[in-house]
């Protein structure tokens, strides 16, 4: 009979739950959601939103319930309807087309993404060709590459891509990066760019945003102690996917989930310490939902591990401040 006691103890011992901080919403996401909500208050429903305002189904569904209609392209917006551009940014032609049609439009592009847009314009004006480090097809990449004339910017996704670049050391070059990349992977690519092109110009401060960097650092602070790390985020959320990669690079199993109902109880078999974080588009209510679900499966001892304090706030567009 005594031989079974360790098994029973293992089943009833509290699961140590390490919750990373910072996590969840960043200032750019807060601002984008508030822009849609204020637009609904000002114009009334429906308000159209080009592309998902942020990459989170829970957030998008909540705004749909309030009267937002999400479309992929501007030609899906009826004449006379208000439209909001997503936090990821849009090619320059999109607001130009909206103005030409006489649409009331609001730009919810994260100010840190807009900063990269302006850097791209300045580099092209200075006669430099841009090497843009990012993921093909991501809305932020499409938006940034759409700020400058075709043929003045080249996408670089990997170190291997750097080796294939056809430019010589006499070509004026500059590099910029997507704001939601892996800090470590990007550092490797930038190092390869600088090694191949000693003449290349880079931004004065790194383009990867504070929230992306902070969330990755928070994962690094807990991953080594965890048997499993759960990341709350959407499969099309770049910053959330990078959090999974950061944990796995440290040798910790990691899974991306959108909601608590995706958790398989078997994942917790043999897990004594569980890590939890959320991408920059995931609201805190989903974190608490996951904690509650885990509590149904195992007794939980909850700890928050804080690596940085975030106090960033971005101003709303002038149209919403009148």
Per-residue CA distances from 4 to 7, 10, 322 (Å): 5, 10, 70
129 is an annotated ligand-binding site residue: no
117 is an annotated ligand-binding site residue: no
237 is an annotated ligand-binding site residue: yes
d(CA 267, CA 242): 21
Cis status of the peptide bond prior to 33, with omega within 30 of 0: no
239 is an annotated ligand-binding site residue: yes
For residue 75, give every residue at least 6 positions away whose Cβ sits within 8 Å of its Cβ, in sequence order, or none: none
Residues noted as catalytic: 140
Query: Tokens 């971005």 — which residue?
Result: 314
d(CA 311, CA 210): 11
26 is an annotated ligand-binding site residue: yes
238 is an annotated ligand-binding site residue: yes
For residue 107, give every residue at least 6 positions away whose Cβ sits within 8 Å of its Cβ, in sequence order, or none: 84, 85, 90, 95, 317
304 is an annotated ligand-binding site residue: no
51 is an annotated ligand-binding site residue: no
d(CA 123, CA 208): 18
226 is an annotated ligand-binding site residue: no
Please state the residue numbers annotated as binding site for [4Fe-4S] cluster: 26, 110, 209
Binding annotation for dimethylallyl diphosphate: 55, 88, 138, 237-239, 281
| Binding residue positions | 26, 55, 88, 110, 138, 179, 209, 237-239, 281
Residue numbers in the known binding site for isopentenyl diphosphate are 55, 88, 138, 237-239, 281
């Amino acid at each position: 009979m005594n031989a079974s006691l360790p098994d029973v103890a293992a089943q009833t011992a509290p699961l140590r739950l390490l919750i990373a901080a910072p996590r969840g919403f960043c200032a750019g996401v807060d601002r984008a959601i508030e822009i849609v909500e204020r637009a609904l208050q000002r114009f009334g429903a429906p308000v159209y939103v080009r592309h998902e305002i942020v990459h989170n189904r829970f957030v998008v569904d909540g705004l749909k319930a309030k009267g937002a209609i999400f479309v992929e392209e501007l030609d899906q917006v009826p004449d006379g309807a208000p439209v909001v551009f997503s936090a990821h940014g849009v090619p320059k032609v999109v607001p130009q087309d909206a103005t030409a049609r006489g649409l009331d439009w609001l730009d919810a592009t994260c100010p840190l993404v807009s900063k990269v847009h302006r850097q791209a314009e300045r580099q092209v004006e200075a006669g430099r060709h841009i090497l843009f480090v990012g993921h093909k097809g991501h809305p932020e990449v499409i938006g940034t590459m759409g700020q400058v004339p075709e043929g003045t910017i080249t996408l670089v996704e990997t170190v291997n891509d750097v080796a294939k670049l056809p430019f010589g050391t006499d070509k004026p070059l500059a590099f910029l990066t997507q704001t939601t990349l892996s800090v470590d992977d990007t550092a490797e690519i930038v190092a390869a760019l600088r090694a191949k092109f000693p003449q290349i110009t880079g931004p004065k401060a790194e383009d990867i945003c504070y929230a992306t960097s902070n969330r990755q650092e928070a994962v690094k602070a807990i991953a080594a102690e965890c048997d499993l790390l759960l990341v709350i985020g959407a499969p099309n959320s770049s910053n959330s996917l990078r959090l999974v990669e950061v944990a796995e690079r440290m040798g910790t199993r990691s899974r991306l989930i959108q909601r608590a109902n995706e958790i398989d109880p078997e994942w917790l078999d043999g897990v004594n310490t569980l890590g939890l974080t959320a991408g920059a588009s995931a609201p805190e209510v989903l974190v608490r939902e996951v904690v509650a679900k885990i509590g149904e499966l195992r007794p939980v001892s909850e700890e928050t591990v804080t690596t940085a304090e975030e106090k960033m706030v971005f101003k709303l567009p002038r149209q919403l401040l009148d």
